[in-house]
Structures are given as structure tokens and as C-alpha cells.
Amino acid sequence: MGFMDQFRLEGKVAVVTGSGQGIGRGIAWGLADAGCDVALNARRMDDLEETARGIEERGKSALIFAADIRDRSEELADLTIEKFGKVDIWVNNVGGSDEKKTRSLVDTPDEIFRSQLELNLTTAFQGAKAAAKKMESGGCIINIASGAGMRGSPFTGPYAAVKAGMLNMTETLAIELAPEIRVNAVSPGPVVTEAFDKVLGAADAEEAIAATIPLGFLGTPDDIAHTVVFLSSPASRWITGRNILVAGGRTHRGYQYQQRVEENTDN
């Protein structure tokens, strides 16, 4: 096998939750470009059909599972095995927030915190369990976390807290599932997606956030997909239990601007 072949995924089967739009769609298309057939999941069928068309245009096959993934990861795993015969890669990407209003952590209703926990962390926990039961040796699980989970995150506290939990869970799973299965996380910084545009909208807001990034520009779903493909490939065979922050060099810097934007969004 040549050097560049180590980055290929020919004959592999991937599952990507939350793959109807944005980062999830970019990851699904990136994995298909690298050689994977892909099982897709999101709540909206029309979004999934568009993602599936992109996979088929890349010469690969897609499975569509249109459903809220909460409590249904094992069903998705079974359907993937039924169609493709195996699961090699599982990407826990579903997440975000159904609640768009921002507030301080102590002012957050219990039901909102529980919802964030279920949508972002419990789904990843369930997905990892379902994947581990189906994967053979050499499989990998990738959790899509967030830079918010690596620092204090005023006014987005529930989301940040559960993403921090995801990072800890990633390390624990990596130890427990080694050496058969590798487990890593990817933490995106500010990435332009449909949801991002709905929240911020104005070009001047995007420019202001870009100014907080050392490399000077916002990310795209492809930037996250490239990292996921690498972590899924033989090229990363000696990497497990790690989190890769893909954020143009931004760490804690710039969050104060983001906080001000969020305070004035949807209030």
C-alpha cells in the first residue's frame, strides 16, 4: 500500500448522524469521496435525500434513516448491517440546540438542560454503544464536539457542558475499547452552515467573528470533513482518545465577541 493509499477508505461503511445539512452533510460527502458507502440520519427526509444524491454522484451508496436518533442508534446500526453488511466508521455528529434563546446557566430551565444533554451527549453515548457492538477490530468512532466544550462559555452553558462531557467520554471509550476500536473527537470552531447563517445572518457579524480567528477566516463543513476522513483512515492508526480542535487557531480568544452577538440574537 502506497503512502497516499493510507488516506483512502475504499470498501468501508460509515454512519453519520445529523447528516441532513451543514457539517454532517460535509462529513458524509467527504467520507464518500474517500471511498465509503454511508448511512445517513437526520429528521428531515428532503435534507437527507439531497445528501444521498451527493453520495451517489460520488459513485457510492447511501442508506437514509429519517428519524430523531434519540434511543434509536441500535436500529440504525441494524439497518446499516442489513444493507451494507458491516459498520467500520461511526460519526456522532447530531447535536446543537432546539432552543435558540441564550441565557445564563443559572437561569436555564431544567428541561432545557436535560434536552441539551439528551440531544448532544446521550445520543453520542448510545451511538458509541451501538457501533461498538457491531464493529470488528479496526473500526473507529468519531464524536463531533465543540470548541465551546474546552472553555467557559457564557450564555451557552448547557451546550458547552455537554460537549465537555463528550470529550471526557471520548477519552474513556478510547481506553476501554482499545485496541480493537479507536475513538477520537473533532471540535469545530465557527463554521458557516445553514444554522450559522440563521443565527448570525449579517455579513458584518461574520466578518467580526473572522477577525477573532488567527488565520482570519471562518471554517466550512469541508474543513471538518477533512479531519474526520483523516481520523477514519489507516493514516491515523496510532491516534486514539484525542480531540482535534479545527478552528483556524482560535482557542479561548474571541469568545467575548461571540457572547455579545448571542446576547443580541433571538431575544
Catalytic residues: 159
Helix axes 157-177, 123-134, angle to 10 degrees: 20
Question: Which 8-state DSSP code applies to residue 135?
Answer: P
Q: Please, is 254 exposed, middle or buried when counting C-beta atoms within 10 Å of its C-beta (0-12, 13-18, 19+)?
A: buried
Which has the closest alpha carbon to 145: 129, 112, 114, 169?
169
Q: How far is CA 197 from CA 115, 138, 163, 204, 267, in A?
A: 23, 38, 22, 12, 17
Q: Are 15 and 89 in contact (CB under 8 A)?
A: yes
Q: Are 59 and 260 in contact (CB under 8 A)?
A: no
Q: Starting from the edge strand earliest in sequence, which strands make up the sheet with 182-188, in order?
A: 62-66, 37-42, 13-17, 89-92, 140-144, 182-188, 243-246
Q: How far is CA 83 from CA 38, 62, 63, 87, 242, in A?
A: 10, 9, 8, 10, 31
End-to-end CA distance of the chain: 56
Q: Are strands 89-92 and 13-17 parallel, antiparallel or unpaired?
A: parallel
In angstroms, the CA 40 to CA 77 distance is 11
